[in-house]
Amino acid sequence: MDIEQVIEFLAHVPLLQRLPGSSFAKIAEIAQFKHYNRGEFIVRVGDAGDGIYFIWEGVAEVQGSINDSEEFHEDRSEFQLKRHDCFGHGTDTSYHQAAVVALDKVTCLVLPNEYSTLLEPLSIWSATETEENSMIERILQLDPVEVNLFRGFTPPDAPQYAKCYGGQIIAQALAAAAKTVDHFKLVHSLHSYFLVGGDQNMPILYQVRRLRDGNSFATRSVDATQNGKIIFTLTASFQKEESGFEHQDIKMPCVPAPETLLRKEELRDRQLFDPRLPKNYRNKAAGRKYMNMPVDMRFCEPHTYTHQIKNPSSTMFWFKAWGKLSDDPALHRCVVTYISDYISLTVSLNPHRKRGLKPILLSLDHSVWFHRPFRADDWILAVIDGPSASGGRGFSQGRMFNRQGELIVTLIQEGVIRAAKPRPPVAKSNL
């Protein structure tokens, strides 16, 4: 059997879809085909078995004490195993608790026991996780709980806000959805809504629903929950790569190369000592806790703007992930999704800034379209503008380009932008 066919088969096994893409080729090289005739036992009760069995073709049935009880007599389909189903265990010392019998001619792909560790990589993104993995990759690491359920965390060294950063929730939800789709399909669009602010000190559960699996497209929805309450919901569509019509009318703006620009951290340090900025502003900025982002950001127009004056409702910056990312293309799309929420809303507020303004910014909805392949550890230009604000909401849109000028991502976001109500004055004591 051609190894590419085996890899494609494995990619459609739900239990394996959480694995890094690189794992499928390794499993395909090792797994062995076994054939069984109708009525033949694939495994017997008490057998050690040969490893993990994947049904390639045919139908088998589990026979044992549980499904022989009266409770299960009416519907035995729950115990029928068909293409892409799997069973078995990964140790030589374990024994099968039930027999599996071929109902017709059955072909199984068997992963030997000694290679079962391939099914339990340290990371959903890489089978060879090392300490050198970038911060953003660690932020986007999820713990598989069930086939369609994942758990996400906020690492201690990740950016910390009053609430869980919205970009992290979107990106982790997208990661959960991506790990229920065969790795040949990549996200091409997502649409999401923020319902309640997330608590960054608690894990978030991401429940995935498999809405559709077609030959070319797949659709997933994800609910993010904390304390049993849905705080965020996302719908994403995935597509298998194909060739087709190509055109691009939008040109990338002419901007300085990222290597010639100051890093975000350097720009902040320079502003702290820039005498052109108000002393009061510099003193307050120096006292604020600064959070390092997991991406290298370089603004195209290093400016002397402060939050005390009106600014243009647009910005442009280059960014890329710190360090080298694993090669899984789904990871790179999650990284861009993470950063897409970082500065989108602030541009809508810029024309309304003034001395003493204490704004409230909350994401409401967020949509992203992915047009062309890219790597998030290469430089990407983000062009963001906020053309409208009304009714207590700010609207922003953005485009992202690679260094060759190709449009790779479009994003749209709307969120709450309000001026915080001043606190009532404290009554003076009459004493």
- Res 342: pLDDT: 86
What is the pLDDT confidence band of residue 313, given thresholds at 50, 70 and 90? confident
- DSSP-derived 3-state class of residue 24: helix
What is the pLDDT confidence band of residue 94, given thresholds at 50, 70 and 90? low
Residues of the chain with CATH 2.40.160.210: 132-430
For 392-428, write each residue's pLDDT tens digit: 899 999 999 999 999 999 999 999 888 777 666 655 5
Residues of the chain with CATH 2.60.120.10: 3-64+76-119
d(CA 41, CA 420): 70
- Whether 288 has a pLDDT exceeding 70, the answer reads no
Please state whether 392 falls in left (phi above 0), alpha (psi between -120 and 50) or beta. Answer: left
- Res 368: pLDDT: 98
- Res 67: pLDDT: 47
- Whether 372 has a pLDDT exceeding 70, the answer reads yes
- Res 184: pLDDT: 95
User: What DSSP designation does 29 have?
Assistant: H
* Mean of the per-residue pLDDT values of the chain: 88
Taking a C-beta distance cutoff of 8 angstroms, is the pair 226, 175 a contact?
Answer: no
Which tokens in the block code for residue 141?
A: 């690491």
Percent of the chain's residues with pLDDT above 90 = 64
For 29-45, write each residue's pLDDT tens digit: 999 999 999 999 999 98
What is the pLDDT confidence band of residue 345, given thresholds at 50, 70 and 90? confident
Taking a C-beta distance cutoff of 8 angstroms, is the pair 395, 357 a contact?
Answer: no
d(CA 18, CA 127): 11
- Res 95: pLDDT: 72
d(CA 75, CA 77): 6
Of 53-67, 197-211, 229-243, the range with the lowest mean pLDDT is 53-67
Q: CATH: 1.10.760.10, 1.10.10.10, 2.40.160.210, 3.40.50.150. Which one for 132-430?
A: 2.40.160.210
- Whether 303 has a pLDDT exceeding 90, the answer reads no
- Whether 68 has a pLDDT exceeding 70, the answer reads no
- Whether 91 has a pLDDT exceeding 80, the answer reads no
**CATH (residue range 3-64+76-119):** 2.60.120.10
- Whether 173 has a pLDDT exceeding 50, the answer reads yes
- Res 27: pLDDT: 95
Sheet holding 314-321, edge to edge: 142-146, 149-152, 204-213, 217-226, 229-240, 185-194, 359-370, 407-419, 393-402, 380-390, 314-321, 295-299
- Whether 73 has a pLDDT exceeding 70, the answer reads no
d(CA 400, CA 411): 8
- Whether 304 has a pLDDT exceeding 50, the answer reads no
Stronger pLDDT, 1 or 306, i.e. the higher one: 1
d(CA 343, CA 394): 12
Burial of 400 (0-12, 13-18, 19+ CB in 10 A): buried
- Whether 269 has a pLDDT exceeding 70, the answer reads yes
- Res 60: pLDDT: 96
For 360-371, write each residue's pLDDT tens digit: 788 899 999 999
- b/e burial code for range 77-91 (CB count within 10 A of at least 16 → b): eebebeebebbbbbe
Taking a C-beta distance cutoff of 8 angstroms, is the pair 424, 404 a contact?
Answer: no
- Res 162: pLDDT: 82
* Beta-carbon count within 10 A of 384 CB: 24
- Res 122: pLDDT: 85
Span 377-392, average pLDDT = 93
For 334-344, write each residue's pLDDT tens digit: 999 999 998 77
Which tokens in the block code for residue 119?
A: 């099914």
Taking a C-beta distance cutoff of 8 angstroms, is the pair 166, 363 a contact?
Answer: yes
Residue bearing tokens 């309000």: 418
Of 247-256, 264-273, 311-320, 372-381, the range with the lowest mean pLDDT is 264-273
CB half-sphere exposure, 344, CA atoms < 13 A: 32
For 114-139, write each residue's pLDDT tens digit: 998 999 888 999 887 555 678 999 99
Which tokens in the block code for residue 17?
A: 């879809």
Q: Which residues belong to the active site?
A: 341, 363, 413
For 185-200, write each residue's pLDDT tens digit: 999 999 999 999 999 9
- Res 331: pLDDT: 97
